[in-house]
Amino acid sequence: MPRDALQGTLDLLVLQTLARGTQHGYGITCHILAASGQQLRVEEGSLYPALRRMESAGLIKAEWKQSENNRRARYYQLTKKGAGRLAQEMQKWEQHTAAVKSFLEFA
């Protein structure tokens, strides 16, 4: 898959995670890992720059808060614009997989 599509997938995962509530970077990796049945491991080297990029684009916003174990952590939260983007990305993903699926079935 082209790089754009890969990045799109990461964005989709992150946005979907944040749709459930605010979360810090580490929490996001944990959730994606757990929710995908230990299948999808997001690398820190991709996640953190992606978070920064989405923040600059206004899809998410960040806030320093106290974490469960009393350390300062940067919590991310979905913005209205981000929620819109999430819906868009989900639709795109479904179209994409449906297209691939129908291709495979045809063959």
| Residues engaged in binding another protein (CB under 8 A) | 24-26, 29, 43-45, 48-50, 52-53, 55-56, 67, 71-74
Closest to 22 in 3D by CA, of 79, 69, 72: 79
Shorter beta-carbon distance to another protein: residue 62 or 90: 62
What minimum distance in Å lies between the beta carbon of 29 and another protein? 8
What minimum distance in Å lies between the beta carbon of 106 and another protein? 40
What minimum distance in Å lies between the beta carbon of 102 and another protein? 36
Shorter beta-carbon distance to another protein: residue 43 or 105: 43
Bridge partners, residue 23, by sequence? 76
SS3 93: helix
How far lies 73's CA from each of 14, 18, 67, 86, 90, in Å? 17, 15, 6, 24, 28
Shorter beta-carbon distance to another protein: residue 17 or 29: 29
Shorter beta-carbon distance to another protein: residue 27 or 86: 27
What minimum distance in Å lies between the beta carbon of 52 and another protein? 4
Backbone phi and psi for residue 85, each to the nearest 5 degrees, phi listed first: -65, -40
Query: Cβ distance 31 to 23 under 8 Å?
Result: yes
